[in-house]
Structure 1
Amino acid sequence: MRPIGGPFVLTFKQSNANRIYCLNAEAERQGLHRGMAYSDARAFCPDLQSRPADPIGDERFLNVLRRWATRYCPWVGLEGADGLVLDITGAAHLFGGEAMMVTDMRQRLSRAGLSVQVGFADTRGAAWGLAHYGEGLAETGRTLDALGPLPVMALRLEDKTVTALQRLGLRTISDLVESPRAPLTRRFGPGLMMRLDQALGRQPEQITPLADPPHYGVRITLPDPIGLKDDVMAGTSRLLDSLCAKLKAREAGARILCLTLRRVDQEAQVVELRLARPLRDPQRILPLFERGVADVDAGFGIDQMRLEATQVLPLPAQQISSVTSSRKDQLEDLISRLGTRIGLENIQRVLPADSHIPERSFLIAPAAYSEPEGPWVALRPRPLSLFPPEPIAGVGAQPPKQFRWRRMALSTARATGPERITPEWWLEDDNWRSGVRDYWHVETRQGRRLWLYYTPQNPGWFAHGEFA
């Protein structure tokens, strides 16, 4: 976090135009507001500074702030994309009253470098209006006195409704309260009066707190310390049964499991298991722990075991078929076993790529984080072995009758081609700057089957691959 002096805004792109996403107090004093076109804002304020907004990061931070706010009360929910709503009923006296609670909030957030607007009232709607347009505390039973001077937009109304009310001369909430309800309901619908009644406490409005994310962890405390591998594996089996039951109930699968073994001397041994695919089958997961458990130093004994799924991914239920093969499961288990030794990232597979350039016709990806794709589509045969181009002696556009390659004298028996491949001009590649290539499949009398190419722009012959 870096403080910036002067007017500052965050911008986002909407309908091919940059608009203001958020702004500081200095920018507001210059007459700028949210949703304003950035070009108009620069016309009003030439020294305006800006940065691109990060809505995803803001949402993540707001959820972190929501968890922090549970120190004041258990009922904390999100209010739009930039606010929190707290139901402090029965909790304010723990901080010395509402005023002391608000003061404590301000001080803690200020020390964290955050500037906030706080509204306190008997109702959710009134608190929202005070936080956005009044910032203050409404005394109990005197909500209308605090809301009356505020503009009608403090009732969480749509922009078109606010504009229409202002044209009728209803600019404040007091003006709206003193107006007849029936004509306003006929003209604007029941939503207008509902927002007014919610703010004044005539109609209830609940706060729905966000549920904490599910915790996938189980533990067991042993009456007597254990140290044998078989005993640890038996305990791990019990933990896996409980954990996988939780995962199955939420249609999820564990990708990373962490087994913590606490010894009697309060030291802990940790066994981490990374799986090639999300799993929730205890019988498949348990054997994968054997290698890690065998390396554990039990010391004077283990008295507590804890198993936690630190990375969980969705794993919906699938229809079981009579033709389902177990070969895929066996391959995934093998990848997991090897991954515990050399790392999952080091087990790789080759995937087809959409490119006619030989070097770019495939991708190498970690097998644990990719799915096999296919079938491979090639209009012409491709060599099994592909290596960097190696120059050979040859003259003319036809394959040479005799040439030397890797200190071997070879003579051409049959040549098939040419297959012309043009470079991808939109990509930078020094190996293809010589222009098009004419590829030939050359079979030599000595038994070698090579993939040669000729460059017409800069005449020369090269060997690029070898067929099986």
Structure 2
Amino acid sequence: MFAGTHRRIVSIWFPRLASDRALRACPVDGPFALAQRLGGAETLFCLNAEAEAAGLHRGMRMADARSFCPGLVSRLARPDLDMRFLAGLRRWAERYCPWVGIEGQDGLVLDITGAAHLWGGEETMCADILVRLTRAGITAQLGRGASLGAAWALAHFGPPSPETPEPDLLALPVAALRLKPNIVTGLQRLGLRCIGDLAASPRAPLARRFGPDLLTRLDQALGNSPEPVTPASEPPQFVTRMTLPEPIGLEGDVMAGLSRLLVPLCARLAAHQAGARQLVLTLRRVDQANQQVELRLAAPMRDPARILPLFTHGLAKVDAGFGIDQLRLEATQVEPLSPVQLGTPPVASPDRLADLLTRLGRRIGLENIHRFLPAKSHIPERSFLIAPAAFSPAQGGFHAPRPRPLRLFPPEPITATGPTPPARFRWRAMPLTTARATGPERITPEWWFEDENWRHGLRDYWRVETAEGRRLWLFFTPQNPGWFVQGEFA
């Protein structure tokens, strides 16, 4: 990495990462453990120092742990929160060097080559790391070496106290080479208990018996085989900011500044093939108070000309006070948006509909604008779904074997007899005369659903056109004779 500089690696191991994370959120006095469910039984996943002093250990059944330590406080393990916590520690560790990666589920690795002198040397840097982690209530063990494997081995199998001189790498057990448990057991049975014994043994028989991974791990620890430190990539941040030399207060001036912020933000979105679904404009006043304007879009967008007018309604409610001296625009919710193919004929686009939904959503809420979606059911009441239009893409058209009415309502009984539509009947206090009837269309209930509305069994649907101009959808129930009106055609 640096010419004439020996590589130096620091490995940080958090032996109680999960329990430390949980105790930071909700402290507990006394023995504490996180439990996980494996095979129908709860076992201990991570313990604090008091629980380990009471004789408990990882993998112990919760029932046995309760008998050993009746005062044990336990919670369920959350591996997802643990990894999020570890990612936060990785970002914090970048204060020491730019090359910081995550090692496994409970460790970090830092490539401090050329950076240790900024902290007064490796010893001073490592001491500062331990002091800050201890102050935050996080248990950590550090190891330093010329390779990632050596640093990892010293962090996991070296002395826990930083004041203790670090042992020679060759004196550490073979388990420090990050080997599988079965390989470690096989080596111990052969009398190869430390790394020095393994390094002095012939390589060919070891490779034939244990595979090439054993020698690869040995060479990585001794520095004979390179092993890079790969820093985790940060997710892109879609934020633009503008500090004004003089405060502004007019809506037109804010819109002009917003238009200048939208251009680079949308260009960054286009570079990542994404579109903004939610935008937040923060206006900082000269009295240090903040005004926020949130814009929720009905579809992902990255066109400044389309987004800018949608802020008008929100900016009209802003109190500028004695003036605004900073504008900050952030896309807080981003979704993938494929690039537009150039040179193709223009096609119908849902952009205008999305803009209309956004404008209406600013006033009544996007959740209150619904659309109908087709459902896989031949039952009229179950043949459609109602979903928010902004959060459910439009699907294919409705396909029915027969025409369906525009209006559908709960069945309303009418007085009639016989399996064919009555010549005259009364519906909603209106006397009607049948001019034309088309049918029947028999629909059977879905046996896998318990529906009270279909307790009469089969239904024979008829399309009835009346002399008075009403076009109704009637059905007859043969099993329990009766006539009902359920819909009306346009």
Match of 1:198 among 214, 217, 220: 220
Which is bigger in relative contact order (C-alpha 8 A, separation at least 6)?
Answer: 2
Question: Which runs of no fewer than 5 residues in structure 1 stay unpaired?
Answer: 35-40, 111-115
What is the aligned partner in structure 1 of residue 409 from structure 2?
387
What is the aligned partner in structure 2 of residue 178 from structure 1?
200
Counterpart Cα distance in 1 of 2:360 and 2:410? 31
Counterpart Cα distance in 2 of 1:72 and 1:19? 42
CA displacement at 1:44 relative to structure 2 = 8.9
Contact 2:35 2:62 in 1 (8 A): no
What is the aligned partner in structure 2 of residue 78 from structure 1?
102
Match of 2:144 among 84, 101, 121: 121
Counterpart Cα distance in 2 of 1:460 and 1:330? 48
Match of 2:363 among 341, 359, 362: 341
Match of 1:63 among 80, 84, 87: 87
Counterpart Cα distance in 2 of 1:319 and 1:61? 41
What is the aligned partner in structure 2 of residue 258 from structure 1?
280
CA displacement at 1:233 relative to structure 2 = 1.6
What is the aligned partner in structure 2 of residue 293 from structure 1?
315
What is the aligned partner in structure 2 of residue 417 from structure 1?
439
CA displacement at 1:373 relative to structure 2 = 1.1
What is the aligned partner in structure 2 of residue 444 from structure 1?
466
Counterpart Cα distance in 2 of 1:158 and 1:351? 53
Within-5 A mapping of 1:38-187: 55-70=79-94, 74-87=98-111, 90=116, 96=124, 98-99=126-127, 101-110=129-138, 116=139, 118-122=141-145, 123-132=147-156, 136=160, 142-145=166-169, 148-150=171-173, 152-159=174-181, 161-162=183-184, 164-166=186-188, 168-187=190-209
Counterpart Cα distance in 2 of 1:208 and 1:56? 21
Within-5 A mapping of 1:231-270: 231-270=253-292
Contact 1:21 1:53 in 2 (8 A): no
What is the aligned partner in structure 2 of residue 283 from structure 1?
305
Distance 1:148 1:435, change over 3 A: farther
CA displacement at 1:379 relative to structure 2 = 0.9
Contact 1:7 1:47 in 2 (8 A): no
Identical aligned pairs, as a percentage?
Answer: 57
Distance 1:274 1:443, change over 3 A: same
Counterpart Cα distance in 2 of 1:440 and 1:202? 85
Distance 1:270 1:193, change over 3 A: same
Counterpart Cα distance in 2 of 1:342 and 1:264? 32
Match of 1:10 among 36, 43, 64: 36
CA displacement at 1:119 relative to structure 2 = 4.2
Question: Deviation digits for residues 93-114 of structure 1, max 9, x if unmatched?
Answer: 599563563354245235xxxx
68-77 vs 446-455, which moves further: 68-77
Counterpart Cα distance in 2 of 1:399 and 1:5? 78
Counterpart Cα distance in 2 of 1:5 and 1:273? 48
CA displacement at 1:299 relative to structure 2 = 2.9
215-224 vs 20-29, which moves further: 20-29
Counterpart Cα distance in 2 of 1:278 and 1:347? 17
CA displacement at 1:385 relative to structure 2 = 0.4
Question: Which runs of no fewer than 5 residues in structure 2 stay unpaired?
Answer: 1-21
Question: Deviation digits for residues 88-140 of structure 1, max 9, x if unmatched?
Answer: 66276599563563354245235xxxxx5634232432443455566736889
CA displacement at 1:258 relative to structure 2 = 1.5
Distance 1:43 1:233, change over 3 A: closer
Distance 1:220 1:315, change over 3 A: same
Counterpart Cα distance in 1 of 2:472 and 2:313? 46
Contact 2:425 2:432 in 1 (8 A): yes
Counterpart Cα distance in 1 of 2:158 and 2:478? 77
Counterpart Cα distance in 1 of 2:283 and 2:58? 58
Match of 1:374 among 396, 421, 435: 396
Amino acid at match of 2:148: R
CA displacement at 1:169 relative to structure 2 = 4.0
Amino acid at match of 1:125: G
CA displacement at 1:304 relative to structure 2 = 1.8
Counterpart Cα distance in 2 of 1:286 and 1:256? 13
207-216 vs 314-323, which moves further: 314-323
SS at match of 1:277: strand
Amino acid at match of 2:454: W
SS at match of 1:426: coil
Distance 1:348 1:21, change over 3 A: farther
Match of 1:212 among 214, 227, 234: 234
Contact 2:46 2:58 in 1 (8 A): no
CA displacement at 1:351 relative to structure 2 = 1.2
Distance 1:99 1:302, change over 3 A: closer
SS at match of 1:234: helix
Amino acid at match of 1:118: Q
Distance 1:52 1:464, change over 3 A: farther
166-175 vs 450-459, which moves further: 166-175
Paired residues, number: 451
SS at match of 1:24: strand
Counterpart Cα distance in 2 of 1:46 and 1:422? 57
SS at match of 2:168: helix
Amino acid at match of 2:37: T
Contact 1:119 1:129 in 2 (8 A): no
Task: Give the CA RMSD over aligned residues.
Answer: 3.7
